[in-house]
A and B are shown apart, each in its own frame.
Chain A
Amino acid sequence: MTIDTRTKGTLTLLLCVSAFTLPWTVGALLLLSTFLLPLLSSAFRPISDRSRRAFRRFSLYAAVLAGVLILLNSILLREGTALFTFLGIPLFDGGFLFGVKTATRLLLLSFSLLHFFLSTPIRIIASELQQTRIPPQIILSLLLALHFIDRLPARIERIFAAQEARGAPIRSSFFRRVKSFFTILTPLILTSISESIDRGIALELRGFHSGVRLLDAPPSTRSSVILSRAFLTLSLLLILWRIIRWVLL
């Protein structure tokens, strides 16, 4: 069965809601299952080598940080009894459990969002957003942002090189470096405002503001509509259950 963007989005929403509403043990199982998603469906596989590298980098970062935070919580939150000593420092079970619960929730949240974003091209997300009747200005600003994100690093590099050639104190003392921050940022903003004016005129000349559709979205299949509605209903039920529990207890 093919999984489209809407189904993926609602499944991600369900996983995020589960992270906040279900017990941490269920969250831990769901976290493990998120790692199976790319194996089970090609729709959840990273779209490029860059995405794959980003996923690997984040996984390593999250694993190290989660480990450090569990350790620090165990040391600093002196709740419950001492589990064992690490380099002569006692580790408390209250802090340890708090660290594990928080890390599980955070990792489930992070990995479910990351799986969605790294496996879905922004263009597809934009076309789905357009179907939900979001103003085209917002979608175009997102697409323009992607264009600028691609170009800005090279532009910044060029300005750095030019200002350094003119004798700007880029590798000098801290205060002089702070001063040269403006010598980099001012030309960057200036050129971008000029480009914005040109692009604004071009958009108006093409009648953009009279209301246009930017992208065509593929039609949803019946199975994907049913699945996405089921995920959405489950998410709402979980939120409702959590609110009722919170009010009653």
Chain B
Amino acid sequence: MLERVKSVIQQEMSGAGLPFVGFCIALNLTVGQVTAGLKIPLYLDSVGTVLVAVLVGPWSAIITGATANTLAAVFGNPVMIFFIPVVAVIAGFTALIARLGWFRTWYLVILGGILQGVLAAVASAPISAYLFSGITLGGQDFLVLYFRSMGNSILESVFYQGLSSDPADKTITYGIVFILLKNLPFRLLSRFRGVTNVRQALSEPSHDDRHPN
């Protein structure tokens, strides 16, 4: 089993896949600089993971998210390391729906984002509740406290907090990745294994590919 996983990782990370994973780990950690520069109130800390899940594969996406969370712990947010299972869920689900072709149609992308948000809330609630009693040294802690003061249990409060923010965040992340991939030229995307997750092979070139000059 382990050898099989290693061989799949080796296949996924061949060619441009490996350096792209490195870039997407860095993107997860630095995209905040772009949103802060434009004064847009969004985190979007899983854009890189979603990009890798669609273009490279599920195992590479799990590695991207897990490494990004570990590095986030190194850079001063130690709690992130405990949310690696949530990243694995995000990566696995995204790779699955990408393989089903959901990233070719905008309304399926929105549906996928909402489902992903609910799934992320379900996956993160037990970690946040049982390991941290709902407090993870972030801004969302105040929302958890608000739900607790309404008489809910810790698990319920964390889950409601997740439900109130995750579906919107993940839908926006999916939307951004969808628009980005639609705008990228086919000749670049074709270097990745997951190009057929985004476009029908050779039948649906982008505007740039039809008019290269």
Contact = CB atoms under 8 A, between A and B. Distances in A.
B188 A69 contact: no
A57 to B, nearest CB: 7
A113 B73 contact: yes
Interface size, B (range): 35 or more
A98 B23 CA distance: 41
A148 B154 CA distance: 39
A37 interface: no
Most buried by B among A61, A102, A143: A102
Interface of A: 20, 54, 57-58, 61-62, 65, 69, 72-73, 76-78, 98, 101-103, 105-106, 109-111, 113-114, 117-118, 122, 135, 137-138, 140-149, 152-153, 156, 160, 170, 174, 177-178, 180-182, 184-186, 188-190, 192-197, 199-201, 203-204, 209
Given A62-B137, A196-B16, A209-B10, 16 more contacts: A76-B149, A98-B133, A105-B133, A106-B132, A113-B73, A137-B13, A137-B18, A142-B25, A156-B33, A181-B35, A185-B176, A190-B184, A196-B20, A196-B22, A197-B16, A197-B191
A178 B30 contact: no
Nearest to A176: B38
Residue picked from B37, B132, B136, B149, most chain A C-beta under 10 Å: B37
Contacts, number: 193
Contacts of B202: none
Nearest to B188: A193
Q: Is the interface of B mostly helix, strand, loop or mixed?
A: helix
Interface in B111-137: 131-137
B184 A109 contact: no
Interface stretch (B74-82, B87-95, B101-109): B74-82
Nearest to A159: B34
A138 B37 CA distance: 31
17 contacts: A57-B76, A76-B148, A77-B148, A105-B133, A113-B81, A140-B22, A142-B71, A148-B26, A148-B27, A149-B25, A152-B30, A170-B37, A178-B40, A186-B183, A192-B20, A196-B23, A199-B16
A207 B39 CA distance: 44
Contacts of B16: 193, 196-197, 199-200
A interface secondary structure, majority:
helix
B136 to A, nearest CB: 8
Contacts of B37: 156, 160, 170, 184
Contacts of A199: 16, 18-19
A73 B18 CA distance: 46
A201 B37 CA distance: 34
Nearest to A142: B67
Nearest to B82: A109
Contacts of B21: 141, 144-145
